[in-house]
Amino acid sequence: MTSDASIGLQFNNSRHTTPIAETPAGPVIGTIDEATGVRRFLGIPYALPPVGDLRWLPPQPLPPRQTPLRALAYGMPAAQNPSALIEVRGPNGEPPESEDCLYLNIYAPPVAGDKKLPVMLWLHGGSFYMGSGCQDIYNGGFLAASGRAIVVTCNYRLGALGFLRLCDITDIPSSGNEGLLDQIAALKWVSANIAAFGGDRDNITLFGESAGAMSIAALMAVPRCNGLFHRAIVQSGNPAAIHSRDRANHLAQAFVEFLDKFNDSGSLREASTRSLLQAQQAVLSDQRMERNWGQLPFKPVYDGELLIAEPLKALKSGTAQLSLMLGSNLDEWNLFSAINPQSFTLDNRQIRERLEWLLPRNLLDPLLDHYYRVAQSLNGNPWPEWSRTWNLLLTDMVFTLPGLRLLEAHGGSGFHYHFAQPLAAHPLLGACHAVELGYVFGTHGAPSLQSLYGGEINAHLLSNSIREAWLNFAECGDPGGGWRTFSERHSRRFGEHPAGRPFDTTELAALWQHIPDELLTGYL
């Protein structure tokens, strides 16, 4: 068998030389970014297209290629409806309505040395029904330009095509975990082939945000993933965003009923992609959604086969042996409130009506009193006081507390951060959900993102400090910079919030100590 050095990239120091990776899956031809020298291999298929008879099946392996693959452009994103939050297009600007979506992208440093580099595999967010690994904000070139890591992004099936359990109520075999199985297939492809790009298959870090972070938490509880990845960075992800089989089946029944209104073929197997997306949107618009299926109706399922334990229990039992870094943003829920007009006129009564079905009054009252006092103390906050109260409470209930409890389950040996840098051009958003992404990837200055970022003071210094920590962690499991573990109740702050809000993990844990895990997760 050839050594890692001999199967590496064929190139020299000239930025005009075409990079070719001789992988076990076949030769792959890439391009070189003229500005940074980063070698890019885009649109690499990691499984057969999940179309036709393969639509509802786990991802199927690709046979090795004999002819070179020209990996010069992104592959198609997963099929999805347009969104006010995320704009996703195909490589030629086309709407994302193709089911042929199982592609990944590799960003390799300009110069390959003898040392194998850590690998960072990104799982994108988007509530499990939107998004793509090809979005501008996820350009892995800035991280790879450090020369310290290989960065990989990928697409996986979303919505009904990736997270709808039909096998119990129809003859369709989908388990509801096809999207997770896609992620595992991408991991396996990377493990088998990354040495040819200069990467170390024995040092793979999964990092992801929102649904991507929730996916990582779920993968921690999947026995077949043991050894496939070694570190995890969980950004703003609730580890319990997983359906029971009963709840998943209830969702599937509603989906099938909605599909009957849009499906011209009369057959679930033959339904067009467009009709599936229409039924998916009907589910997301249903007034019953929140209480019946949560804010995330499409998500992984405890099927007893792939997912056999909750992430918290898997960590407590020692099933998941890995290094963990985790955190969230100070104003997570501002994003979701900003796109919902009703959020601006909330009052005490309305907040209670929205939460009393989930939290008994004796538990809810102290929380509301606390967050209302905090809301009143925030000078210069553009939100009305009760709307502010809602944002503060939901931020901690959905993101902050579940993350802290995941670290507790890990034994406290992981690392915690909180991101506090608000968007200067968008006061209502503050340090909201997903705002850290541009700093993690170094894309905050990209022209296509100028409408989001702009006006932040010393943004490049903040991005540099975050990227340094993420790269340190990928290299050795320690983010460096004197960052102490969570066992010491230490949390590292990134960015400055104008309200100067403190963040005390001990105080927060004590405030929510009477709320059991199952109530924390009910909203999702």
Q: Look at 177-186, 208-217, 378-387 and tell me which has the smallest mean pLDDT.
A: 378-387
Q: 418: which strand partners?
A: 328, 493
Report the chain's mean pLDDT, rounded to a whole number. Answer: 92
Task: Evaluate if residue 321 carries a pLDDT over 90.
Answer: no
Task: Evaluate if residue 105 carries a pLDDT over 90.
Answer: yes
CA 387 – CA 392 distance, rounded (Å): 9
340-362 residue pLDDT tens: 999 999 999 999 999 998 999 99
148-166 residue pLDDT tens: 999 999 999 999 999 999 9
Specify whether the CB–CB gap between 208 and 122 falls below 8 A: yes
Residues with catalytic roles:
210, 332, 433
- Interstrand relation of 39-45 and 31-32 (parallel, antiparallel or unpaired): antiparallel
501-521 residue pLDDT tens: 778 999 999 999 999 888 877
CB contact set of 283 (below 8 Å; sequence gap of 6+): 251, 254, 255, 258, 289, 293, 297, 298
Tell me phi and psi for residue 200, to 5 degrees: -100, 110
Using alpha carbons, list the distances in angstroms from residue 10 to 26, 200, 392, 412. Answer: 14, 18, 52, 44
- pLDDT in the model for residue 10: 42
CA 435 – CA 419 distance, rounded (Å): 9
Domain boundaries, the chain: 9-241, 322-521
The distance of Cα 361 from the centroid of its chain, to the nearest Å, equals 33
**CATH for 9-241, among 3.30.450.20, 3.30.1370.60, 3.40.630.10, 3.40.50.1820?**
3.40.50.1820
322-521 and 9-241 share a CATH fold: yes
Supply the pTM of this predicted model.
0.95
Task: Evaluate if residue 112 carries a pLDDT over 80.
Answer: no
Specify whether the CB–CB gap between 106 and 151 falls below 8 A: yes
Class level of CATH domain 322-521: alpha beta
| Tokens 């992984």 belong to residue | 300
